[in-house]
């Protein structure tokens, strides 16, 4: 049967269909946004005045609530004055897709209003460094601790109850404290990210470590591995791909703490940019910046996923690009000597 | 029962050759001695006695199978022998030294697949050589050569650089056998190693195992619930009974060596099988009916 069904529990779809659906996951929200933005009949609660007529307080290009516009016009007609003309519009906080698209470019090339303010790409880069430092500091302690907790009951009982407790304390609650201790620059921001990431990270990594197949440990023991060798040759390689996957998820969570972290002390980074643009009511730039965060997050994750599939080929069951290249190279170099042998 | 009782000799009857073989085996040194082994589990429902007063000895290069009904403690016994489970009573002596915890001198092949998925076949087989303290003097090259020899022995030379997920079930178990043997264990413990394989692959694996055992100085303890497999492979069969797990009988298999699949229909083979069936499925229990209610439509009687 050529037509296969879409709705079968746990049934993977073929490559083409998968791609189409994945593209649609972006097209559908974009379509909704476009309908709201470009169909004057849908929503459009405002009117932009194109000709103020005889109404004194209307001006060309000013945006007025629809009811107010019609009320004033009715009043004008009643008093035999010329009514105003206008086109339906959405409020400023919902720009149309093409406006946001344009501001993607504009936002990057528009110089900051004040000479000592950062450009957009500088703000973005600042945000990225805050995240990376926070995530790095957290990981350096949490990953080894989590692996120890998952491996040795001793460490699990010694740390997990407290970690479990601390996990419930919202990271932003430490904002004031972080500023008092670490000053107003990047210190407290990094600290918030660390606090938000660390405790989840310990528990997640510990849990992942515990899920290692115990039969592998037993097999290794009957082969003579014990103590540190059991740890370094079975536990670590066995959990590595899953730890890597956990790190990808945690890095995503770290981004969610960013917006809170960046308003701590003096506001910086992408959050500063967003707040600044909102203050000037340039909402296209606000959207562009928010979407920018999403794009950075998604591309990082896709890149990490790809790197992971190359690193852990035994898990993904695919050959890595590197091994395919080396196989191709080996094949081509195998052919050559044969030819040269036949030549003489 | 399909066999005709009248025509079968007793399983205790042995030809002179077979008798001579058993005499020579018993003259060999004892590799493994199990004395009054007992095991109780503390479970929610109270203490469960899994093994009680289990005693037997295994001589060098002997092939001993352990069979018994499900839940009689076969896995528990072999796990204790491997050192993966602690015993509650008795002692285990390997070459007259008490064993304690797992060690490379007792290799194990598990029922499930336990190859390290992140290592190639070659690296899996080298694992024991690389981690065990005794082989520290050996250089990497000799280790690799040795591992390759073992891989060749199980017929997987072409797959040395493959990962476990690229192998079939039977191939995985062959690698597991090579990996255990590469350590040169005194004794090889196998817990239903072919249990997950289909009948054909299983038959092939049995003959592989016999060939390997013939060529390698190793003593094998083999758990199975397949009576044919036990008879075909073993010198002796330890029959356990359940609740608590105790030894019912230790049977000397009267089938001649070398073994071949044609012997499945020989008198000795069938006599032994009959005896095992009597021990494992007592006639009374076999007739027990299940309390099944009728769950079919009227009018579609097929029986
Ligand atoms: N960890 C445990 N805790 C409590 N009871 C256990 C434990 N392991 C095994 N048992 C009990 O010990 C008995 C023997 O179990 P075992 O797994 O050794 O049986 P088996 O002979 O290998 O069975 P099978 O043929 O089904 O593999 C069973 O009754 C089981 O319930
Ligand atoms: Mg079992």
In chain A, how long is the greatest CA-to-CA distance?
108
Question: Whose CA is closest to B202, among B96, B88, B80, B111?
Answer: B111
- Residue tagged 């740890």 (tokens): A231
**Which residues make Cβ contacts (< 8 Å) with residue B143, sequence separation at least 6?**
B126, B129, B130, B135
User: Under a CB-based contact definition with an 8 Å cutoff, are residues B160 and B151 in contact?
Assistant: yes
Residue B52 has pLDDT above 60, yes or no: yes
Q: Determine whether the interchain pair B131/A222 forms a contact, defined as Cβ–Cβ distance below 8 Å.
A: no
Q: Determine whether the interchain pair A223/B179 forms a contact, defined as Cβ–Cβ distance below 8 Å.
A: yes
pTM, to two decimals:
0.84
CA A183 to centroid of ligand 2, rounded, Å: 63
Compute the distance between CA of residue A112 and CA of residue A119 in angstroms, rounded to an integer. Answer: 6
Residue B163 has pLDDT above 60, yes or no: yes
Q: What is the chain B residue with the closest CA to A234?
A: B116
From the CB of B33, is ligand 1 less than 6 Å away?
no
User: Which tens digits make up the pLDDT trace of A56-76?
Assistant: 888 888 888 999 999 999 999
Output the six-digit token pair for A329: 């190279």
**B108 phi, psi to nearest 5 deg:** -140, 140
Compute the distance between CA of residue B168 and CA of residue B248 in angstroms, rounded to an integer. Answer: 37
Buried b (16+ CB within 10 A) or exposed e, A89-99: bbeeebbbeeb
User: Which tens digits make up the pLDDT trace of B80-125?
Assistant: 999 999 999 999 999 999 988 899 999 999 988 899 999 999 999 9
Question: Whose CA is closest to A224, among B93, B286, B132?
Answer: B132
Compute the distance between CA of residue A220 and CA of residue B103 in angstroms, rounded to an integer. Answer: 10
- Residue tagged 């009949």 (tokens): A41
Residue of the CA atom closest to atom 3 of ligand 1 = B41
Residue A215 has pLDDT above 90, yes or no: yes
**Which residues make Cβ contacts (< 8 Å) with residue B105, sequence separation at least 6?**
B94, B183, B185, B186, B187
Q: How confident is the model at residue B68 (pLDDT cuts 50, 70, 90)?
A: very high
B116: cis peptide before it, omega within 30°?
Answer: no
Here the ipTM equals 0.87
From the CB of B113, is ligand 1 less than 6 Å away?
no
**CA torsion A213→A214→A218→A219, rounded to 10°?**
-10
Atom of ligand 1 nearest to the CA of B79: 18
The percentage of residues in chain A with a pLDDT greater than 90, rounded to a whole number, is 52
From the CB of B76, is ligand 1 less than 6 Å away?
yes
Atom of ligand 1 nearest to the CA of B111: 27
Residue B130 has pLDDT above 80, yes or no: yes
Compute the distance between CA of residue B48 and CA of residue A21 in angstroms, rounded to an integer. Answer: 55
In chain B, how long is the greatest CA-to-CA distance?
77
Question: Whose CA is closest to B213, among B238, B181, B191?
Answer: B181
**B113 phi, psi to nearest 5 deg:** -85, 120
| CA A35 distance to own-chain centroid | 26
* Of A1 and A300, the one with more pLDDT: A300
């Amino acid at each position: 049967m050529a037509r296969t069904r879409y709705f079968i529990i746990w049934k993977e779809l073929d490559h083409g269909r998968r791609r189409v659906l994945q593209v649609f996951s972006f097209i559908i929200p974009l379509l909704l946004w476009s309908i709201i933005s470009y169909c004057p009949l849908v929503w459009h609660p405002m009117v932009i005045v194109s000709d103020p007529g005889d109404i004194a307080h209307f001006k060309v290009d000013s945006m007025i609530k629809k009811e107010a516009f019609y009320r004033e016009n009715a009043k004008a007609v009643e008093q035999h004055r010329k009514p105003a003309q206008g086109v339906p519009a959405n409020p400023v906080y919902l720009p149309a897709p093409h406006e946001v698209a344009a501001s993607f470019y504009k936002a990057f090339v528009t110089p900051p209003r004040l000479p000592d303010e950062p450009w957009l790409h500088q703000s973005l880069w600042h945000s990225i460094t805050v995240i990376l430092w926070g995530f790095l500091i957290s990981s350096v302690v949490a990953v080894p601790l989590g692996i120890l907790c998952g491996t040795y009951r001793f460490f699990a009982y010694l740390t997990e109850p407290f970690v479990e407790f601390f996990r419930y304390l919202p990271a932003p609650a430490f904002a004031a404290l972080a500023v008092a201790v670490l000053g107003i620059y990047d210190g407290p921001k990094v600290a918030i990210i660390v606090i938000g990431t660390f405790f989840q990270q310990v528990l997640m990594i510990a849990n992942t470590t515990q899920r290692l197949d115990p039969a592998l440990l037993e097999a290794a023991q009957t082969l003579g591995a014990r103590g540190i060798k059991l740890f370094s040759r079975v536990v670590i390689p066995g959990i590595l791909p899953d730890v890597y996957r956990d790190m990808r998820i945690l890095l995503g969570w770290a981004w969610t703490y960013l917006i809170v972290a960046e308003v701590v002390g003096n506001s910086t980074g992408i959050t500063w940019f967003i707040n600044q643009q909102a203050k000037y009511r340039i909402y296209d730039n606000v959207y562009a910046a928010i979407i920018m965060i999403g794009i950075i997050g998604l591309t990082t994750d896709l890149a990490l996923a790809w790197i992971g599939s190359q690193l852990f080929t035994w898990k993904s069951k695919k050959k890595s690009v590197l091994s395919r290249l080396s196989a191709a190279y080996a094949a081509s170099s195998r052919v050559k000597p044969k030819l040269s042998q036949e030549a003489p | 029962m399909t066999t005709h009782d009248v025509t079968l000799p007793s399983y205790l009857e042995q030809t002179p050759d077979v008798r001579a073989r058993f005499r020579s085996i018993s003259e060999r040194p004892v590799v493994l001695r199990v004395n009054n082994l007992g095991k109780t589990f503390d479970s929610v429902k109270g203490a469960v006695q899994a093994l009680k007063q289990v005693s037997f000895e295994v001589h060098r290069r002997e092939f001993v199978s352990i069979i018994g009904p499900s839940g009689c403690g076969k896995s528990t016994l072999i796990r204790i022998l491997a050192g993966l489970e602690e015993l509650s009573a008795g002692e285990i002596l390997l070459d007259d030294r008490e064993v304690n915890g797992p060690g490379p001198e007792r290799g194990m092949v598990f029922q499930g697949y336990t190859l390290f998925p992140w290592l190639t076949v070659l690296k899996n087989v080298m694992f024991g050589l690389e981690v065990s303290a005794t082989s520290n003097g050996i250089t990497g090259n000799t280790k690799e050569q040795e591992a390759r020899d073992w891989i060749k022995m199980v017929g997987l030379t072409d797959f040395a650089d493959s990962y476990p997920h690229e192998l079939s079930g039977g191939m995985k178990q062959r690698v597991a056998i090579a990996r255990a043997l590469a350590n040169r264990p005194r004794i090889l413990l196998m817990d239903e190693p072919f249990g997950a394989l289909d009948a054909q692959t299983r038959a092939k694996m049995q003959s592989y195992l016999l060939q390997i055992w013939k060529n390698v100085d190793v003593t094998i303890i083999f758990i199975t619930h397949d009576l044919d497999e036990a008879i075909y492979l073993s010198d002796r069969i330890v029959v356990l009974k359940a609740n608590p797990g105790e030894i019912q009988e230790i049977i000397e298999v009267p089938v001649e060596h070398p073994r071949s699949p044609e012997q499945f229909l020989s008198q000795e083979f069938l006599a032994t099988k009959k005896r095992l069936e009597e021990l494992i499925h007592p006639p009374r229990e076999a007739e027990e009916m299940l309390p099944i209610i009728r769950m079919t439509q009227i009018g579609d009687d097929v029986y």
